[in-house]
Structure 1
Amino acid sequence: MSVLNKKFDTAHDTAPFSQIKDEDYIPAFDTAIEKTATEITAIINNPEPPTFINTIAAIVYSGMELDRISHIFFNLHSAETTDKLDKIAQEVAPKLSKLNNDIMLNPQLFERIKVVYDQKDKFSLNTEQQTLLQKSYRDFVRNGALLDDDKKKTLRQIDAELAILTLKFGENILAETNAYQLYITDKKDLSGLPEGSIEAARGLAEAQDKIGWIFTLDYPSYIPFVTYADNQALRREITIAAGRKAFQHNEYNNEENILKIAQLRFQRAQLLDYDTHAHFVLEERMAQQPSKVLTFLNDLLNKAKPAAEREFQELSAFAKEMHGLTRLEKWDTAYYGEKLKQKKYNLDDELLKPYFQLENVLQGVFIIAQRLYDLNFHEVNYIDKYHEEVRTFEVTTNDNSFIAIFYADFFPRKGKRNGAWMTSFKPQYRKNNQDERPHISIVCNFTRPTTTKPSLLTFSEVTTLFHEFGHALHGMLADTTYPSLSGTSVYWDFVELPSQIMENWCYEKEALELFAKHYQTGEAIPMELIDRIRASASFMEGMATLRQLGFGLLDMGWHAQDPTNIDNVKSFENSCFASTQLLPDVGENAISPSFSHIFNGGYSSGYYSYKWAEVLDADAFAYFQENGIFDKAVAGKFKTNILSKGGIEHPMTLYKRFRGKEPSVDALLKRAGLIE
């Protein structure tokens, strides 16, 4: 039996990464799938009449071993993948899809659930149990429990195909990211680039036994290059390379995958009697309907577009004045935006980075969590890691009660997908009077330390760390009975509230003074720099908002209509971007083929959630500001009503309990500088 199928003999039941071999996964999955099926069969064959405990709760607690193995495997598949893991994922995905369908489409199991659902009034259920019962019933209905046998068979085929296609989509993007390098041998082509970026590029070249500098599409390499490199031709080359990921005539092209995914999602929704995939998804979101999402996006668009157009004209005029540029292109906006920001606010990342050593920022976010929520983070070395760079922390309360294990994985490497995310290796839940505490992880791609400097973060990386840590707090402070309602298991247009609200502390003097200290001198960040950070917070916010709204409209374009007649990814994209486009189109580029959020990241019909959650977070943080950003009473209400409650009640009910009212969009518009 694989180590993965046994109870882990480790501190706090943490994953024994060093004992797991690649060849363990398939047999471990097979064993756990069989165990899960046996557990479900036992529930079906229970001779006792169906009750909440012997049916609903029993289903939720079934498959825990399989869930654990899945958490471990798929987290590594994102953060530490190899060709072997890719192959295993391709083999495992249809097996998991089949098991899910075997459960969700089982008529005898659904009949037991339906009996409990129809007789719910006689069971004296608490709020969490009522939510779980309703969720269980709806999950089965939404997964085809009411379909006839032929339609169930079709649903199984669709789900199996989708499982493979979405995996392939992500693997293609990683392959394309890894395949590109900008290799520079002439030092003058480095003009404008920060010293740390040049040093990191030299390190990449040396690692490949090359003389010169290598830049890649990994964010810590790519973003500084397009922001600072004076050589416009090279900015153009790397920008186009980033924009054509999985949109080239090669084996990694994702266009067919996208068209198939969109069509299969639509067919699935129709099979379940929904108008579109978006109608299906949004039934379990705060927004409820595609029409409401489109109204929300277009209302924001109407308010943001005038500001965005003014900003674009200002940036265009600045570029013309500076270098005689007659037309801004995609590879120019970050470069000239940074130059304009420097001129207006005398502020740039290179000025700020010495004050944002990763270690200090991490300690800062820990101190803020301590002040707000009485949490303490102790770095420990007795917990197994999946990579030597991962750091592990034990999280406790002031009275030394154990809260969570926290993993932090900060730097890019081959086999790790781009971006930043929070995940878990084990959720929080209660079973047999035991409060099982969560194991939470954040994975980032920050600027690496070099031979002469520690890891110094850009301000954007600082806000990213705070953002992912906000998600982590949502997982760590979970306090529910059932794992399927725990932590971040909430509506997806609510899940970004805990993460986005944390970013606000990055702009506050009281918070910055805790951790923004010069890495060489220890000097606290000067007040004038804090003032400039705050003043620049809404710089080019109109253009940034327009870009996000464009992504949201593209997502709804793919999913809120019948996609059957879409035959050209590029032209379809252009039609979706028509109302938000400021820059000239780049023919070689398309966003959809590498739009991981909506095609393999869980945000299909949900990309609007980022803006939706910004409304919530701006309104919620305004409450903190009214009382003081470290006010214990407000923090206590946020912890009790938002962070600890997971999905046990409707998000708006929880939010109103915290805030005393529904959120207002005005707080966001004011913060973004879009209204007075």
Structure 2
Amino acid sequence: MRSSRLLLQRSHALYRRSVNTWSAVGAAFNVQHQRFEHLQKNGLFGVPELSGPAGFQMAQHQALREAEFLVHKACTHPPGAVTVETFDQLSDSLCRVADLADFIKVAHPDAAFREAAERTCVEIGTVVEILNTNVDLCQSLKNLLGNEAVLATLDSDTRRVAELFMFDFEISGIHLDYSKRSKAVALNVKLLDLYHVFLSGSQLPNAIDKQVLPEHIRHCFSIDGNRVQIGGLHADSPNELVREAAYKIFLYPNTSLLLCLDELLACRHELATLVGYESFAHRALKGTMAKTPETVMKFLKLLTEKLSDRTSKDFKMMKEMKKKTHTTNPEVMPWDHAYLSSAIRTEMFNIDPSIYSPYFSLGACMEGLNCLFTQLLGVYFQAEQPKMGELWSEDVRKLAVVHETEGVLGYIYCDFFRRPDKPHQDCHFTIRGGRLRDDGVYQLPVVVLMLSLPPPSGRTPSLLTPSMVENLFHEMGHAMHSMLGRTHYQHVTGTRCSTDFAEVPSILMEYFASDYRVLRQFARHYQTGEPLPENLVSRLCESKRVCSAADTQLQIFYAALDQVYHGKPQYRSTTDILREMQEKFYGLPYVNDTECYRKPLPLKTLSMH
């Protein structure tokens, strides 16, 4: 602990020599990582077995042994609160390994770790599906829920969690005969494999001969010999030809992925009908606030009607802006949406990100979040010194979330900076859920926030654009949801709630990211210490209304496409469905020979989660 304090003091001093004085939290994010090779070797997230890829096999074996014991306990113990607690322990024992592996398989820079984690995900996922069709296990829960006298002794949380576990059994086909239950398990296992293949393939770049591209734009892409690698849409490029080329090449149909998508959708539909649902959409929505696909589509159509006039005005503004760029194609195309929206905002309100970024060093933003949570919740961040081997990348930071009277609430690992082979996505991963253990001690939640921010360089800290700040606050909303839940059962902790409610805390946090009363407490120029002028914040807030209808309409299109793909079979290609949905719900034309599988379909949540 002493060396940890010395580190924070040294980091603090380094930053003070620049301009401002931050707390240890702010300083920890504004300086480059310092290595501590002398620290004792440990495993990932402090799990001793995970000091190497082979450790996943050991962790998996231990989890399965514990699960075997807990299944026996649940099936033999008289019905009562202990039944629900045992089910939750069973879920926790598997999730602690599966959730950790689920993160490592996408985030670890070492392919050996990623592959070992992927194998563990598949193995435990298979066990989960088998358990969700275990008749004896389900019967123990039925004995509880069917006993009114015992139910009367349970608190409302325990009853609700018992009902949720029963719901998991029902959607997995527990009511079927042995043959059909076995088929349901096989379909679920097949879906795990299909989704892995689909997701992995959809994230790979497309490569073409560099001669296909005009010479003057080749430098905008990654070149490997005679091949150009295009791994994204380059939607913010001011060069229309770059945007168009990236869109058409990155989204060019991949035959094997289209076949995988067809098989994935067919398999999901087969599973849903096998267990008694009209479609996979009906099965997936059963446990949400929306309840049915009909309700969802009614909402999407109503929202489209309400936004129609505003959306048309937004696209008209984009068309006028495009004329100013001396384009060869005056029509607004899908690759223009993001760039033209940004250009309009910049022209109307002069909100070039470079004006704002100097005020939003990552350290300043973390300081702001720290102050906000302290003032609102009596909770603060404490920079932790991780043990050697605990992290998967040396630029990850670890925070303890501490309540002023209750102590440590949990831990957040901040994987914020870009690096090769790291997914370009902002997301929150639950590594371990919070729950009250048998010994009365609360199991502290552990989460990871993964962003794609520019790393600090020399004496220049990581500087964020306003959209990056908003994303940081959004993801921190998820993290604090996990920290503050303090539920008795891990099955319902934090973001393990109804899917359509899980975004509420994170969306709420976005409002703080654009409120001057919050920003004035931390947004200061990293060199001069000058506070962010209020008029810049006002302009930023006004600019967010520009093209917001068109932006929303794009999300409606994605949602509608998801619903139709997972509805009753259409007996036509996914490309034809995509074309129809884009023309019906978006407002910009479909481009031939492009696909939407770069927008990953939602993975079926493992029931034990």
Q: What per-residue deviation string (whole Å, max 9, x for no partner) do you get for residues 570-615 of structure 1?
A: 1111112222232232223211x2222x243759xxxxxxxxxxxx
Query: Any conservation in 2 of the 1:342–1:348 contact (CA below 8 Å)?
Result: yes
Q: 1:315 aligns with which of 314, 318, 329?
A: 318
Residues 232-243 of structure 1: pairs in structure 2 closer than 5 A: 232-243=240-251
Q: What is the alpha-carbon distance in structure 1 between the residues aligned to residue 132 and residue 341 of structure 2?
A: 51
Q: 1:226 aligns with which of 232, 235, 256?
A: 235
Q: What is the alpha-carbon distance in structure 2 between the residues aligned to residue 81 and residue 120 of structure 1?
A: 53
Q: Which residue of 1 aligns with 2:198?
A: 169
1:569 partnered with 2:557: no
Residues 56-455 of structure 1: pairs in structure 2 closer than 5 A: 56-62=84-90, 64-80=92-108, 82-89=110-117, 91-123=119-151, 124-176=153-205, 217=231, 226-229=235-238, 231-244=239-252, 247-249=253-255, 253-323=256-326, 325-383=329-387, 384-399=390-405, 401-431=407-437, 432-450=439-457, 453-455=460-462
Query: Any conservation in 1 of the 2:362–2:464 contact (CA below 8 Å)?
Result: yes
Deviation at 1:241, TM superposition (A): 3.6
Q: 1:585 aligns with which of 576, 586, 590?
A: 590
Q: 1:514 aligns with which of 518, 521, 525?
A: 521
Q: 1:521 to 1:473 in 2, by over 3 A?
A: same
Higher mean alpha-carbon deviation, 293-302 vs 327-336, is at 327-336
Query: Any conservation in 2 of the 1:18–1:385 contact (CA below 8 Å)?
Result: no
Q: What per-residue deviation string (whole Å, max 9, x for no partner) do you get for residues 528-562 of structure 1?
A: 21110111121100100110100110010111223
Query: Any conservation in 1 of the 2:248–2:593 contact (CA below 8 Å)?
Result: yes
TM-score, scaled to structure 1 = 0.77
1:495 partnered with 2:491: no
SS at match of 2:453: coil
Q: What per-residue deviation string (whole Å, max 9, x for no partner) do you get for residues 107-156 of structure 1?
A: 22222211111114434110101101111222112212111011112101
Q: What per-residue deviation string (whole Å, max 9, x for no partner) do you get for residues 412-461 of structure 1?
A: 22332221111122111001211111112211112333457432212111
Deviation at 1:336, TM superposition (A): 2.8
Considering Cα pairs closer than 8 Å and 6+ residues apart, tell me whether 1 or 2 has the greater RCO.
Answer: 2
SS at match of 2:340: helix
Q: 1:570 to 1:496 in 2, by over 3 A?
A: same
Deviation at 1:30, TM superposition (A): 3.3
Query: Any conservation in 1 of the 2:94–2:124 contact (CA below 8 Å)?
Result: no
Q: What is the alpha-carbon distance in structure 2 between the residues aligned to residue 475 and residue 75 of structure 1?
A: 16
Higher mean alpha-carbon deviation, 480-489 vs 115-124, is at 115-124
Provide structure 2 residue ranges, at least 5 long, that are not aligned to the other structure: 1-39
Q: 1:326 to 1:64 in 2, by over 3 A?
A: closer
Q: 1:64 to 1:226 in 2, by over 3 A?
A: closer
Query: Any conservation in 1 of the 2:79–2:150 contact (CA below 8 Å)?
Result: no
Query: Any conservation in 2 of the 1:442–1:469 contact (CA below 8 Å)?
Result: yes
SS at match of 1:226: coil
Q: What is the alpha-carbon distance in structure 1 between the residues aligned to residue 130 and residue 586 of structure 2?
A: 45
Query: Any conservation in 2 of the 1:553–1:577 contact (CA below 8 Å)?
Result: no
Deviation at 1:263, TM superposition (A): 1.1
Q: 1:463 aligns with which of 434, 459, 470?
A: 470
Deviation at 1:181, TM superposition (A): 12
Q: Which residue of 2 aligns with 1:633?
A: none
Q: What is the alpha-carbon distance in structure 1 between the residues aligned to residue 218 and residue 266 of structure 2?
A: 45
Query: Any conservation in 2 of the 1:379–1:393 contact (CA below 8 Å)?
Result: yes
Q: What is the alpha-carbon distance in structure 1 between the residues aligned to residue 536 and residue 494 of structure 2?
A: 36
Q: What is the alpha-carbon distance in structure 2 between the residues aligned to residue 378 and residue 111 of structure 1?
A: 46
Query: Any conservation in 2 of the 1:15–1:425 contact (CA below 8 Å)?
Result: no
Q: What is the alpha-carbon distance in structure 2 between the residues aligned to residue 13 and residue 256 of structure 1?
A: 37
Q: Which residue of 1 aligns with 2:51?
A: 20
Query: Any conservation in 2 of the 1:316–1:327 contact (CA below 8 Å)?
Result: yes
Q: 1:79 to 1:51 in 2, by over 3 A?
A: same
Deviation at 1:98, TM superposition (A): 3.1
The ranges of structure 1 where at least 4 consecutive aligned residues each deviate by more than 4 angstroms after the TM superposition are 9-14, 179-183, 185-191
Q: 1:180 to 1:401 in 2, by over 3 A?
A: farther
Deviation at 1:464, TM superposition (A): 0.6
Higher mean alpha-carbon deviation, 141-150 vs 31-40, is at 31-40
Query: Any conservation in 2 of the 1:261–1:599 contact (CA below 8 Å)?
Result: no
Query: Any conservation in 1 of the 2:332–2:588 contact (CA below 8 Å)?
Result: yes
Deviation at 1:15, TM superposition (A): 2.5
Deviation at 1:510, TM superposition (A): 0.5
Q: 1:133 to 1:382 in 2, by over 3 A?
A: same
Root-mean-square deviation (Å): 3.1
Deviation at 1:187, TM superposition (A): 12
Deviation at 1:101, TM superposition (A): 3.0
Provide structure 1 residue ranges, at least 5 long, that are not aligned to the other structure: 1-8, 192-197, 604-646, 648-676
Q: What is the alpha-carbon distance in structure 1 between the residues aligned to residue 56 and residue 589 of structure 2?
A: 48
- Paired amino acid for 1:22: P
Q: 1:137 to 1:503 in 2, by over 3 A?
A: same
Q: 2:603 aligns with which of 588, 600, 603?
A: 600
Q: 1:417 to 1:18 in 2, by over 3 A?
A: farther
Q: What is the alpha-carbon distance in structure 2 between the residues aligned to residue 234 and residue 595 of structure 1?
A: 20
Q: What is the alpha-carbon distance in structure 1 between the residues aligned to residue 229 and residue 263 of structure 2?
A: 33
Q: 1:21 to 1:533 in 2, by over 3 A?
A: same
Deviation at 1:379, TM superposition (A): 0.8
Q: Which residue of 2 aligns with 1:548?
A: 555
Q: What is the alpha-carbon distance in structure 1 between the residues aligned to residue 204 and residue 179 of structure 2?
A: 38
Q: 1:581 to 1:182 in 2, by over 3 A?
A: farther
Q: Which residue of 2 aligns with 1:530?
A: 537
Q: 1:35 to 1:474 in 2, by over 3 A?
A: same
Identity %: 21
Q: What is the alpha-carbon distance in structure 2 between the residues aligned to residue 539 and residue 274 of structure 1?
A: 41
1:32 partnered with 2:63: yes
Q: What per-residue deviation string (whole Å, max 9, x for no partner) do you get for residues 476-512 of structure 1?
A: 1121111101111100000000001100112211011
Aligned residues: 560
Deviation at 1:64, TM superposition (A): 3.7
- Paired amino acid for 2:446: H
Query: Any conservation in 1 of the 2:583–2:590 contact (CA below 8 Å)?
Result: no
